[in-house]
Amino acid sequence: MTTRVGGTERTSRYAAVVVANGHLWSPKLPRYDGQADYRGQVLHSSAYKDPAQLRGKKVLVVGGGNSGCDIAVDAAQQASRCWHSTRRGYWYAPKYLLGRPTDQVNDLLAVLRLPLRVRQWVGQRELRRSVGDPARYGLPRPDHKLYESHPIVNSLLLYHVGHGDIEPVPEIAHFTRNAVVLTDEREIEPDVVIMATGYLPRFEFLSPQLLDADTDGRPRLHLHAFVRSYPTLFLAGLIQGDAGLLPIAHWQSVAIAKWLRLRDADAARAATFWTGIASAPDRPWTQARTTDSTRHWFEVDHTLYLRALQRVLDELESAR
């Protein structure tokens, strides 16, 4: 492996390489007509560090994901005015449902192994009962079924929208020198525009051929971790799950370590195991048909994924 720091290159040899750069670090920034001449401040959500940045200012938050909604809630409490621009409808879930954290309720449905349609029906029914129709708050209705995009887990957004602290607005059409023009032809004059518009998966330090990337740059890996053509190259944590990342990254790391130990201890059994990895078909590891976006490239149902990872661990144990 060759690394470069400044103008100095260094080539080193390793038994294996684990890439753990993640996919939420390279900001995805939309560009609008007139934006270059806009006199207000425009920044990506990755540059937002403290609610004090919003204090006393007029703030426009662009983006309906969890980060955008969290920042809009901060702005509702700190800014003099807050607009929240979204281009589509979302499912809004409270942080607690039926007296439990919402992810625990989702886990219960997953453990029961209910069909996806049943889980969607139950989940949508409970959200309508506990949250209501987003359109009553002036928000667009969801344009997809539950689990086909990330639900917004936020108990305060609708509260502040209902109290007038956050004003929902449509997409940006373009900028002028002093204002932002929306697609409904309204003009607003925020001091700060925060683009909570997500991130681009990027692997600039790796050749696309190493990751068997398609024409869009999407890696084709087994379990989003094993590079089929290179048994000593792995990616850990390249997952967008419906629950916490750390347990998944932990068991990925265990599987990688067990494979490397097997490769060192018994080359013949290791080769047999890797033949199965190399020939394994691509699978989405999610039951829902997600919306077409780079943010869903690595989407998984964590229960399905962990079961598949457990099978890999079992195979490695039996091969020892």
* 242's tokens: 């419906």
Q: Is 152 within the bounds of a domain?
A: yes
On whether both 225 and 101 belong to a single domain, the answer is no
Q: Is 307 within the bounds of a domain?
A: yes
- Our CA angle for 113, 117, 120, nearest 5°, is 90
Amino acid (one-letter) located at 192: V
Which residue's entry shows tokens 């684990």?
18
Range of the domain at 237: 2-25+203-319
Q: Is 79 within the bounds of a domain?
A: yes
**pLDDT digits over 66-90, tens only?**
999 999 999 999 999 999 999 999 9
Q: How deeply is 229 buried, as exposed, middle or buried, from its count of CB atoms within 10 A (0-12, 13-18, 19+)?
A: exposed
Q: Is the pLDDT of residue 269 over 90?
A: yes
Q: Write down which residue in 172, 195, 218 finishes a domain.
A: 195
**Beta bridge partner(s), residue 41:** 192
On whether both 169 and 216 belong to a single domain, the answer is no
On whether both 40 and 153 belong to a single domain, the answer is yes
Q: Write down which residue in 195, 223, 238 finishes a domain.
A: 195
Task: Look up residue 281 and give its DSSP letter.
Answer: P
**How many domains is the chain partitioned into structurally?**
2
- Residue 320 confidence (pLDDT): 67
Q: Is the pLDDT of residue 288 over 70?
A: no
Q: Is 228 within the bounds of a domain?
A: yes
Confidence bin at 5 (pLDDT 50/70/90): confident
Return the CATH number at 133.
3.50.50.60
Q: Is the CB of residue 28 less than 8 Å from the CB of residue 294? A: yes
Nearest to 234 by CA among 254, 262, 204: 254
On whether both 7 and 98 belong to a single domain, the answer is no
On whether both 246 and 175 belong to a single domain, the answer is no
Q: Is 241 within the bounds of a domain?
A: yes
Q: Is 164 within the bounds of a domain?
A: yes
Amino acid (one-letter) located at 110: A
Q: Is 140 within the bounds of a domain?
A: yes
- Our CA dihedral for 55, 77, 60, 124, rounded to 10 degrees, sits at 160
Amino acid (one-letter) located at 4: R
**pLDDT digits over 124-183, tens only?**
888 888 888 999 999 999 988 888 887 899 999 999 999 999 999 999 999 999 999 999
Least confidently predicted of 103-112, 199-208, 242-251, 301-310: 103-112
Amino acid (one-letter) located at 6: G
On whether both 11 and 89 belong to a single domain, the answer is no
On whether both 64 and 157 belong to a single domain, the answer is yes
Q: Is the CB of residue 219 less than 8 Å from the CB of residue 235? A: yes
Least confidently predicted of 90-94, 105-109, 205-209: 105-109
On whether both 11 and 67 belong to a single domain, the answer is no
Q: Is the CB of residue 51 less than 8 Å from the CB of residue 77? A: yes
**In sequence order, what DSSP letters do the residues of 256-272 get, joined into one string?**
HHHHHHHHHH-HHHHHH
The predicted model scores a pTM of 0.86
On whether both 191 and 290 belong to a single domain, the answer is no
On whether both 170 and 246 belong to a single domain, the answer is no
On whether both 52 and 92 belong to a single domain, the answer is yes
Which residues are CB-neighbours of 206 under 8 A, at least 6 positions away?
19
What number of helices (H) and strands (E) belong to the chain? 7, 18
- Residue 207 confidence (pLDDT): 84
Q: Is the pLDDT of residue 292 over 80?
A: no
Nearest to 68 by CA among 160, 141, 157: 157
On whether both 117 and 230 belong to a single domain, the answer is no
Q: Write down which residue in 179, 195, 211 finishes a domain.
A: 195
Q: Is 30 within the bounds of a domain?
A: no
Confidence bin at 318 (pLDDT 50/70/90): confident
CA distance 214 to 300: 19
Alpha carbon 263 to its chain centroid, in Å, reads 33
